[in-house]
């Protein structure tokens, strides 16, 4: 039971389900007054150099507010151990983009950084590699991927052009007319999936299956944590 699609029980952090409805995209545009933010409380360094990369984006001219313990910049309105109600919503909702870089660039690994910010706060996630999200069936226009660009200059220029143009920006929200996000990070979701699978197998002869080394299977997925190196040279 893991986030990987090849698990016996698929337990992702989130997913899209069909939900055609009217969405006032102009209202989303009117609510956005700031460009990009990353709220990161993880002090430990990550294998994919995501903090270093994001700081490089900021130094190269991208309008990013870096907040959280990782940057020694805890937002005053949302102190970590005394968060007033709705403070995170008030903090994040005015931003157009969220830096949704995972701590590892691994196949199928898409966490609440992506799903929560796109769903709850109407933000456009910025991610490292498009193929990870495309393989999960996530619409291309739902996010912006760094690896679509040859260099940081082109990437930053593109983000700024989208940020300043209503029509361009709202293209990244068109998916909302057809889908809604369900978050499945609760353990209940995974066990419900397991129960459903067992019920389907009831009355059938079960095929034996085993893993010689579960640790090896789980800890060695297809990862590319050197992805950002070419951008930081």
Assess contact for 101 and 127: CB atoms under 8 A: yes
Q: pLDDT (tens digit, 9 = 90+) per residue, 23-68?
A: 999 999 999 999 999 998 876 678 889 999 999 999 999 999 999 8
Q: What is the pLDDT along the chain (233 residues), one digit of tens a residue?
A: 788 888 878 778 888 989 888 899 999 999 999 999 999 887 667 888 999 999 999 999 999 999 988 888 888 777 665 555 678 888 999 999 999 999 989 889 999 899 999 999 999 999 999 999 999 999 999 999 999 999 999 999 999 999 999 999 999 999 999 999 987 655 666 777 788 877 887 777 777 777 788 777 776 667 888 889 999 98
CA dist., res. 116 & res. 15, Å (int): 11
* Confidence at residue 220, expressed as pLDDT on a 0 to 100 scale: 65
Question: Which residues share a beta bridge with 106?
Answer: 223
* Confidence at residue 85, expressed as pLDDT on a 0 to 100 scale: 60
Assess contact for 149 and 155: CB atoms under 8 A: yes
* Confidence at residue 84, expressed as pLDDT on a 0 to 100 scale: 58
* Confidence at residue 221, expressed as pLDDT on a 0 to 100 scale: 63
Assess contact for 232 and 57: CB atoms under 8 A: no
* Confidence at residue 83, expressed as pLDDT on a 0 to 100 scale: 57
Assess contact for 38 and 51: CB atoms under 8 A: no
* Confidence at residue 209, expressed as pLDDT on a 0 to 100 scale: 74
* Confidence at residue 196, expressed as pLDDT on a 0 to 100 scale: 82
For each of the domains in the chain, give its residue range(s) and CATH number, in order of start. 16-181 (3.40.50.11660)
CA dist., res. 124 & res. 12, Å (int): 20
* Confidence at residue 10, expressed as pLDDT on a 0 to 100 scale: 79
* Confidence at residue 100, expressed as pLDDT on a 0 to 100 scale: 96
CA dist., res. 207 & res. 63, Å (int): 54
């Amino acid at each position: 039971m893991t986030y990987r699609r090849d698990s016996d029980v698929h337990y992702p952090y989130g997913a899209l389900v069909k939900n055609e409805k009217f969405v006032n995209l102009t209202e989303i545009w009117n609510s956005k007054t700031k460009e990009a933010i990353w709220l990161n409380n993880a002090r430990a360094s990550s294998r994919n150099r995501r903090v270093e990369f994001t700081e490089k984006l900021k130094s190269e001219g991208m309008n990013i507010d870096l907040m959280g313990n990782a940057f020694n910049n805890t937002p005053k309105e949302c102190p970590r151990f005394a968060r007033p109600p709705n403070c995170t919503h008030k903090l994040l909702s005015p931003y157009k983009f969220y830096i949704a870089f995972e701590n590892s660039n691994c196949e199928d690994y898409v966490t609440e950084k992506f799903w929560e910010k796109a769903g709850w706060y109407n933000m456009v996630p910025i991610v490292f590699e498009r193929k990870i999200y495309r393989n999960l069936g996530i619409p291309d226009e739902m996010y912006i991927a760094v690896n679509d660009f040859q260099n940081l200059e082109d990437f930053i220029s593109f983000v700024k052009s989208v940020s300043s143009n209503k029509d361009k920006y709202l293209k990244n929200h068109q998916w909302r007319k057809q889908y809604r996000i369900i978050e499945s990070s609760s353990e209940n979701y995974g066990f419900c999936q397991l129960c459903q699978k067992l019920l389907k197998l009831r009355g059938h002869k079960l095929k034996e299956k085993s893993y010689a080394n579960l640790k090896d299977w789980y800890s060695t997925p297809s990862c590319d944590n050197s992805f950002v190196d070419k951008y930081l040279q």
